[in-house]
């Protein structure tokens, strides 16, 4: 098969790496890819994955490419391409593509859509309201005592959420989003949720429009600094499994969310074929969904795909074809930890073009893979090219061993200004 992967982050490197292991993959492109993706070879024939310099959001150019090269499967990583309707567009041209269509991608593209859906279909979530007027938003925030999550409705690179603990803070958060337009048009409406307390986990389930197959648990680390301090980032590290739920509890939580979600999709005429990723808070009064994403998590994917035993090509094809019911997900009985190495200053301003050394030495360690995110090749040298630069991932029989191994691999890698969190997976080991 010929496969086209859309995107350029650590998630897409993990997808390419896993897809490339499939005996079905005979040729692969990634648009636009990164320096690590360009070094991957297909297990079937040793052929290199080809990075094609096209933006993940440039739908007309991607369509032209696909009409010319006729991939048998296109796999979409990022939310923006999905929200822009890449799946509908490719399908209109008879091209097989994995990911939710535009209507289904609204679960991520509009928090107001998701919140309304959850309330109508009985999915456990935070108490909330949706507003297009600042005055009404502030009144609701005050009714929660100012203890709120104030969220821009639309896509905002994972940054459109402000957490507040007083009425004054909540009011200024509403002003920042709705009046100051801190997240642009994404903040024309806001969703305000009550502030929930508890352990946050990531759930992933792959769906084929009828059936949803739940992955094991994982946990991201969204804040920039140790101890969950500092600004929100795209994710500074992840691991799987997260030991805060037993298998039986996970199945229960999964059912409590996914069964009403599937019934709701059927009732509302939403044909969701792709990956649904609910962010869940385990509160004292039960699990509650904070938000839905409609794609693989980054960096959760790096932890998941290093544990997945299924052929990913077959899995994604079953998701598109509606045949997931007959597929059993198989996971290695191990644990995987991904530590993100970021550019100094991220998620604020940071420099690019810093030479990176030691990747090969880290990759040579057993059960270790360095996934690239913001990297580029400059005169034959891998250099930094983004905020999150690398996702250094190790898998071992226990979480403690995987964590030690991931940090040992990080030690081999150097670039100027590199920033990591030192406490990835620490909560799991303390519990
Ligand atoms: P979201 O993009 O909606 O997942 O929000 C980003 C982050 O803000 C989440 O990962 C949580 O850590 C936090 N968050 C979102 N909603 C809430 C809430 N209702 N209560 C507490 N924390 C929240
Ligand atoms: N892990 C955070 C995200 O993918 O949105």
State both tokens at 429: 């080991």
Residues 340, 419: Cα–Cα separation, whole Å: 8
pLDDT of residue 157: 76
Task: Quote the percentage of the chain above a pLDDT of 70.
Answer: 100
pLDDT tens digits, 309-347: 999 999 999 999 999 999 999 999 999 999 999 999 999
Residues 16, 37: Cα–Cα separation, whole Å: 7
Query: Cβ(250) to ligand 1 under 6 A?
Result: no
Question: Helix H segments across 86-240?
Answer: 86-92, 102-109, 111-120, 134-143, 167-174
Query: Cβ(161) to ligand 1 under 6 A?
Result: yes
Tell me the mean pLDDT in the region 256-269.
98
Question: Angle at CA 399, nearest 5°, toward 397 and 401?
Answer: 70
Which CA distances in Å does 373 have to 17, 128, 190?
13, 35, 31
pLDDT band at 189 (very low <50, low <70, confident <90, very high): very high
Tell me the mean pLDDT in the region 165-193.
94
Tell me the mean pLDDT in the region 293-321.
98
Residues 276, 207: Cα–Cα separation, whole Å: 7
Cα(196) to ligand 1 centroid in Å equals 8
Query: Cβ(80) to ligand 1 under 6 A?
Result: no
Q: What are phi and psi of 310, to 5 degrees?
A: -65, 160
Which residue is associated with the tokens 């609910």?
Answer: 278
| 86, 62 contact by CB (below 8 A) | yes
Give the position, in ligand 1's atom list, of the atom nearest the Cα of 111.
3
Query: Cβ(297) to ligand 2 under 6 A?
Result: yes
Residues 272, 236: Cα–Cα separation, whole Å: 29
> Which residue has its alpha carbon closest to ligand 1 atom 8?
161
Cα(367) to ligand 2 centroid in Å equals 24
> Which residue has its alpha carbon closest to ligand 2 atom 4?
297
Query: Cβ(300) to ligand 2 under 6 A?
Result: yes
pLDDT tens digits, 64-118: 999 999 999 999 999 999 999 999 999 999 999 999 999 999 999 999 999 999 9
On the question of pLDDT at 252 being above 90, the answer is yes
CB count in 10 Å sphere of residue 229: 9
Tell me the mean pLDDT in the region 345-373.
97
pLDDT band at 430 (very low <50, low <70, confident <90, very high): confident
Query: Cβ(278) to ligand 2 under 6 A?
Result: no
Ligand nearest to the CA of 240: 2
Tell me the mean pLDDT in the region 349-364.
98
| 158, 79 contact by CB (below 8 A) | no
Cα(139) to ligand 2 centroid in Å equals 30
Enter the DSSP assignment of 189.
Answer: S
Query: Cβ(192) to ligand 1 under 6 A?
Result: no
Mutational test site, ligand 2, from 10, 300, 302, 373, max ligand atoms within 8 Å of CB: 300
Ligand nearest to the CA of 151: 1
> Which residue has its alpha carbon closest to ligand 1 atom 4?
291
On the question of pLDDT at 431 being above 90, the answer is no
Query: Cβ(220) to ligand 2 under 6 A?
Result: yes
Give the position, in ligand 1's atom list, of the atom nearest the Cα of 220.
10
pLDDT of residue 71: 98
Q: Does the pTM exceed 0.85?
A: yes
Residues 72, 352: Cα–Cα separation, whole Å: 35
On the question of pLDDT at 295 being above 70, the answer is yes
Mutational test site, ligand 1, from 291, 294, 300, 427, max ligand atoms within 8 Å of CB: 291
On the question of pLDDT at 158 being above 80, the answer is no
Specify the 3-state DSSP secondary structure of 150: strand
The per-residue DSSP string of 330-371 comes to -B-SSEEEEEEEE-TTTTS------B-B-HHHHHTSTTEEEE
Cα(388) to ligand 2 centroid in Å equals 12
The mean pLDDT of the chain is 97
| 201, 280 contact by CB (below 8 A) | yes
Of the two residues 285 and 157, the one the predictor is more confident about is 285
State both tokens at 276: 């649904």
CB count in 10 Å sphere of residue 276: 25
Ligand nearest to the CA of 198: 1
């Amino acid at each position: 098969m010929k496969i086209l992967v859309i995107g350029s982050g650590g998630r897409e490197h993990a997808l390419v790496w896993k897809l490339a292991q499939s005996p079905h993959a005979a040729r692969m492109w990634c648009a636009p890819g990164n320096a690590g993706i360009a070094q991957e070879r297909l297990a079937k024939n040793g052929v290199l994955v080809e990075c094609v310099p096209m933006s993940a959001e440039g739908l007309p150019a991607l369509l032209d490419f696909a009409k010319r090269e006729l991939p048998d499967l296109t796999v979409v990583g990022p939310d923006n391409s999905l929200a822009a309707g890449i799946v509908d567009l490719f399908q209109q041209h008879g091209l097989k593509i994995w990911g939710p269509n535009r209507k289904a991608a609204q679960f991520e593209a509009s928090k107001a859509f998701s919140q309304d859906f959850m309330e109508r279909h009985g999915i456990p979530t935070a108490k909330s309201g949706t507003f297009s007027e600042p005055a009404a938003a502030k009144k609701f925030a005050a009714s929660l005592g100012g203890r709120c999550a104030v969220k821009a409705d639309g896509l905002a690179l994972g940054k459109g959420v402000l957490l507040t603990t007083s009425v004054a803070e909540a009011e200024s958060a509403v002003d920042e989003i709705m009046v100051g337009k801190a997240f642009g048009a994404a903040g024309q409406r806001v969703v305000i949720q009550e502030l929930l307390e508890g352990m946050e986990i990531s759930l992933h389930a792959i769906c084929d429009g009828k059936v949803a197959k739940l992955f094991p648990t994982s946990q991201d680390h969204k804040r920039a600094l140790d101890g969950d301090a500092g600004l929100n980032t795209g994710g500074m590290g992840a691991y799987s499994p997260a030991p805060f739920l037993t298998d039986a509890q996970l199945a229960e939580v999964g059912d409590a969310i996914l069964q009403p979600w599937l019934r709701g999709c059927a009732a509302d005429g939403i044909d969701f074929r792709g990956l649904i990723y609910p962010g869940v808070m385990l509160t004292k009064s039960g699990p509650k969904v904070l938000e839905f994403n409609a794609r693989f998590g980054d960096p959760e994917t790096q932890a998941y795909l290093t544990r997945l035993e299924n052929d990913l090509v077959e899995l994604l094809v079953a998701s598109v074809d509606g045949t997931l019911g007959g597929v059993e997900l198989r996971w290695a009985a191990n644990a995987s930890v991904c530590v993100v190495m970021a550019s100094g200053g991220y998620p604020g301003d940071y420099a690019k073009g810093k030479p990176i050394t030691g990747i090969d030495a880290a990759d040579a360690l057993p059960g270790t893979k360095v996934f690239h995110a913001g990297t580029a090749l400059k005169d034959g040298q891998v250099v930094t090219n983004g905020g999150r630069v690398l996702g250094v991932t190790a898998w071992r029989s226990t979480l403690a061993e995987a964590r030690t191994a991931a940090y040992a691999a990080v030690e081999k890698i150097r670039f100027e200004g590199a920033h990591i969190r030192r406490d990835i997976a620490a909560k799991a080991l303390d519990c």
